[in-house]
Structure 1
């Protein structure tokens, strides 16, 4: 009994398991895992960027990334994918667990990351162009991140002067507590140290852990503009009564030199930057009668000027490339030569002062004695040049409202330069009118001589000369395209004129189109624009002929022979044996439309006079609604009685002047054949089996 009970229980358990598998939804879940950590070394410093790539189980689910016990990312997955970045939090150095948590499924994946110590040293410096001067105090800030917990680090700060002298001092940093961060600051010069030398000082933290630099100068600024006041401060001259201050250009030219008294070992001087100083670097040097310092007191300063954007523009206000400009600096009595770039812009550093401008285009003067000032800021200067633009329009001589597109134009112009000792120059530019019949060309000299040569299809139709353009934004030039007379005569295959035929002329380029109808003599006359055309002839909307025609001469004559017009068309209808079928109704159709009909005569022929081309021939015999034969044929030549179009109707036979179905005719013939065969058999039988006569 017990054994039976156990077996029943096992069977029930298996059945329940199978049933659960069947009714449970099948889910292909992604594994919660970290597949990649960047940097791949798994090491970094506080505030470094770390990237974690992985997957979670919940599609589009919420996930979190924990750095140790700190939550650093709380986002939603893209599908099952995780790709997140974060900054290393401010924690003590060491190995931390990196955890990716699927919040919905409450499943975690882990990795690791090590925080390394980071050392920082920073010197407080004034904002450029201000600079520190001799005798100044300098604040030095030191910090560590990723340090050990509850630790006081000691920093050894070393300063190396321009004379390679070194001064050091130790300073304890603040306790790192539980953040691993310690800070401190110190003022340089330390005891017995100084900032008496001009040059760059290097500051280091414990040798090589971190470093920074600062510059000590003679002047209060690193750069000056004209009329600025330079303030000089130098120390360490207690043994001197006076010193010499010298300012030179980078080429060694002496700009200024004078003696200044020393008070309590300090040289305090000022100098007004001269109006004639040009842009560049200069040196200032302090020298004494005896050697006072291990490093010469020499410093470089700059006169940078202001960024000035110059835009030469034509009279239409458009920037002009390749304009050569002479900028004369009145204060420095110096001239700068510049040229506008392909965008029509010049960028030049110019100092405070007054300037004169002369501009040349193609070495012809287009601006003369224009003045401007530079004061205390960068600016954009727009200069108007005596250059006009051309708006060229080609119109029909027959109707000025019709504009001619795609006209090829060669513009020749001649001028004399103001530079290069007045040379005569000839130049050419080629272009084409657009779809509206206009062509716009930019920036041309007012006093040049111009000649326009206009052509279509390689044939010149107009040459126009002009000069002394108006000093305005646009000079409008109109070119007339002449008309040409075309005589068209339309005849048929036999040379007879075709009356009321539609003659169409369509120009190869553009949209020019002309139409006319022929008179009773087959003539049509056109007055068209100079050019090449496609000539087409129609009758009853049927294309009879086409050809190209050139209208370059004053008068052109064309004779168009239309071989398809009024063609003799004969249709012969025959039966199964090729016998003509009379009284058959023949219809001709074009594009599904009936155009004519006729009845065949005794010879089985129906004749027509029609326009050729692709025609459908239908033959009606007994049923006027249902054709017995249909054929489509292209007719490009006459088909008269000697060469008719043959339509064979195999379903009928002419027998005894009667139209008979071929099947019926075959039955009759078969019956007749059987009758004849029977008769022959009977005759033969009687001949061979005739009884012999009995003798009496």
Structure 2
């Protein structure tokens, strides 16, 4: 092989290899989607640039990779991660537990390995003091010996000691303090615990009722706790109120008076003997106790006590939600519910709102719920309340469906019937009165109407009418305690006889007579008999009557049918004599041409014109198409549309002019040819006259 051939082969090989590599790379890039770089990696906003450990921070930003993964770096810690929405990043994170100082926050596009410009965030030292309190409704009582207090430092200097002056201020403005120390870890966090009153000196106490405030180094942080006379802040009927007061050593062996009041009313007052330093007594909440805030006091107050022993506690009751519903389990709003508390002898009024729900707080014991709708009692139920409750109160309220049927054929339902329903009932709420209420509607296309939420304890009178004419006026049967009460009434049927005649009052047999209720829905159609007569049984109403024959409308009219009725419909267009005269350009009759009548594209008949150019028909009038065909033509020479509303006799025919033709001795000549012949003849005549004149004078 020559060098030239080898070089040539080598070039071919290189070319093939290059194309192969390009195809492989193209396929690779089609199969492996690459990140889309559409935006800068940056933090666009941050809710705060300083804060304390565990504060929530909201950050927004953008990354290059569409829907790509991101990370939020707080110093060297990852505090949030996820995937962008498009190129937008929005996230919330908490300030991590780190010593106080300045830190950088960066947004990282993980796919592109690109970080945003850093933002500076300052962690501030947070001082916290917290009192461990009983779970509500329990509370501390006078004489409590151990109340745990925790002191915390976060975001402090790492591995250092903070001095904490913890001070407790009593309701009498006395202060007791304790100096303690908080050692922080390498992340700037530390805590210590104290117990009040034992860690705060021999004089510290819990002898006063009221709020005690705890301070950390003055105003750096604070918390509070309450010391009461009772073991709880809330009670229910039958519960025992445990009362304890201390600091009564000066009255040892003597009686003190404990008083419980609801507003200005004294509920209980009793004496109790002081034993040593303590007043400790129990009082049972009465079974008829009303809901409210009660005040409790002890007198006399020893001279050593700087705060009177008085406290408020609550008898809050339980939340009771009453759902008023009909017999169809539908929510009913605007139901007045009288709630009678048998134990307290009190009655409360509430009204159901959206969703039929009414809420009230009730205490333990027997209660009766009486429901009134439109001031008529519709339901009652008695319940013993022991806790929170959801109560379904079923009311004697139903739904009423009125269906109007054809008197002769109940399968046929009558639409668009006006219904007037009058309810008469006796109210029992706020006085006894007889009330009338009117509800108006009409039947739908299926012949039914629905009256929603009628009460059972009422009488109902129904009036039904069509086109303002009443056909039913009576009392409907007593409603039953069911979800739906269905009542059917009949609409009367009246006989309608239609006589169809022509212009000469002669009957038209085989005519199609259609009747349609003006409001729609009801329809019937029949053909007249040999006497031109047809009969219908029509539901009470007003009807459109349409008479047609051979697809042509002969006449239309409207009639009221509220009694037996006979209607005569004269059809002046029926079997009219129709003469058509075909003439040429000069109005001369053209004989032996085919004249065809059509209606709506349907041929009615055809005739040849006579010597007078006339073709006669007996047809139904209206809009007709007249087509004229010349001998040997498959397409009409002329087609015109004409409205025939009266007889067209031989003396008054419809004239159709074929302007393209002139009749010469029974032969049709096109007008253009005729004009040419005339011109030629005229030219010959003129030439002859001139030639004769020339020879005469020669």
Q: TM-score, normalised by structure 1?
A: 0.87
1:119–1:402: structure 2 CA closer, same or farther, 3 Å change rule?
farther
What is the Cα deviation at residue 474 of structure 1?
4.4
Residue number among 329, 337, 342 corresponding to 2:349 in the alignment: 337
Structure 2: distance between partners of 1:102 and 1:539:
84
For the residue of structure 1 that corresponds to 2:232, the secondary structure is: coil
Structure 1 residue 687 corresponds to structure 2 residue 685: no
What is the Cα deviation at residue 393 of structure 1?
2.2
Residue 24 of structure 2 is matched in structure 1 by none
Residue 657 of structure 2 is matched in structure 1 by 648
Residue 175 of structure 1 is matched in structure 2 by 184
Residue number among 89, 95, 116 corresponding to 1:88 in the alignment: 95
Residue 154 of structure 2 is matched in structure 1 by 145
Structure 1: distance between partners of 2:36 and 2:390:
66
> Counterparts of 1:317-336 in structure 2 under 5 Å?
317-336=329-348
What is the Cα deviation at residue 420 of structure 1?
5.6
Structure 1 residue 53 corresponds to structure 2 residue 64: no
Q: CA RMSD in A?
A: 2.9
For the residue of structure 1 that corresponds to 2:635, the secondary structure is: coil
What is the Cα deviation at residue 281 of structure 1?
1.2
Any idea what the Cα deviations from partners look like across 1:55-100, whole Å, max 9, x if unmatched? 3344444433322212234434444443343332222222222223
What is the Cα deviation at residue 301 of structure 1?
1.1
Residue 449 of structure 2 is matched in structure 1 by 439
Contact 2:43/2:107 (8 A) holds in 1: no
For the residue of structure 2 that corresponds to 1:244, the secondary structure is: strand
Contact 2:594/2:631 (8 A) holds in 1: no
Contact 2:257/2:300 (8 A) holds in 1: no
For the residue of structure 2 that corresponds to 1:239, the secondary structure is: helix
Structure 2: distance between partners of 1:61 and 1:364:
67
Number of residue equivalences: 660
Structure 1: distance between partners of 2:309 and 2:597:
114
Structure 2: distance between partners of 1:348 and 1:56:
55
Residue 686 of structure 2 is matched in structure 1 by 677
Structure 1: distance between partners of 2:211 and 2:513:
93
Q: TM-score, normalised by structure 2?
A: 0.87
Structure 1: distance between partners of 2:137 and 2:638:
104
For the residue of structure 2 that corresponds to 1:150, the secondary structure is: coil
Structure 1 residue 36 corresponds to structure 2 residue 47: no
1:437–1:204: structure 2 CA closer, same or farther, 3 Å change rule?
farther
For the residue of structure 2 that corresponds to 1:597, the secondary structure is: strand
What is the Cα deviation at residue 154 of structure 1?
2.6
Structure 1 residue 275 corresponds to structure 2 residue 287: yes
Contact 1:464/1:479 (8 A) holds in 2: no
* Most deviating of 501-510 and 581-590: 501-510
Contact 1:487/1:557 (8 A) holds in 2: yes
Structure 2: distance between partners of 1:513 and 1:138:
90
Structure 1 residue 120 corresponds to structure 2 residue 128: yes
Any idea what the Cα deviations from partners look like across 1:293-314, whole Å, max 9, x if unmatched? 2111111111122222334555
Residue 230 of structure 2 is matched in structure 1 by 219
What is the Cα deviation at residue 29 of structure 1?
5.0
What is the Cα deviation at residue 277 of structure 1?
0.6
> Counterparts of 1:187-198 in structure 2 under 5 Å?
187-189=195-197, 190-191=200-201, 192-198=203-209
Structure 1 residue 397 corresponds to structure 2 residue 407: yes
Residue number among 241, 245, 248 corresponding to 1:230 in the alignment: 241
For the residue of structure 2 that corresponds to 1:275, the secondary structure is: coil
Structure 1: distance between partners of 2:195 and 2:474:
84
1:163–1:636: structure 2 CA closer, same or farther, 3 Å change rule?
farther
For the residue of structure 1 that corresponds to 2:231, the secondary structure is: coil
Structure 2: distance between partners of 1:333 and 1:622:
112
Residue 430 of structure 1 is matched in structure 2 by 440
Any idea what the Cα deviations from partners look like across 1:256-310, whole Å, max 9, x if unmatched? 1222233331222212211111111111112236434211111111112222233
Residue 607 of structure 1 is matched in structure 2 by 616
Structure 2: distance between partners of 1:44 and 1:581:
111
Residue number among 270, 287, 293 corresponding to 1:258 in the alignment: 270
Structure 1 residue 135 corresponds to structure 2 residue 138: no
Structure 2: distance between partners of 1:131 and 1:220:
6
Residue 185 of structure 1 is matched in structure 2 by 193
Residue number among 612, 633, 643 corresponding to 2:642 in the alignment: 633
For the residue of structure 2 that corresponds to 1:679, the secondary structure is: helix
Contact 1:95/1:112 (8 A) holds in 2: no
1:210–1:508: structure 2 CA closer, same or farther, 3 Å change rule?
farther
Residue number among 503, 506, 515 corresponding to 1:505 in the alignment: 515
Residue 246 of structure 1 is matched in structure 2 by 258
Any idea what the Cα deviations from partners look like across 1:13-37, whole Å, max 9, x if unmatched? xxxxxxxxxxxx9x99545342512
Any idea what the Cα deviations from partners look like across 1:435-471, whole Å, max 9, x if unmatched? 3323333554545433211122222221012565445
Structure 1: distance between partners of 2:523 and 2:697:
94
Residue number among 352, 357, 361 corresponding to 2:364 in the alignment: 352
Contact 1:32/1:102 (8 A) holds in 2: no
Residue number among 545, 556, 564 corresponding to 2:573 in the alignment: 564
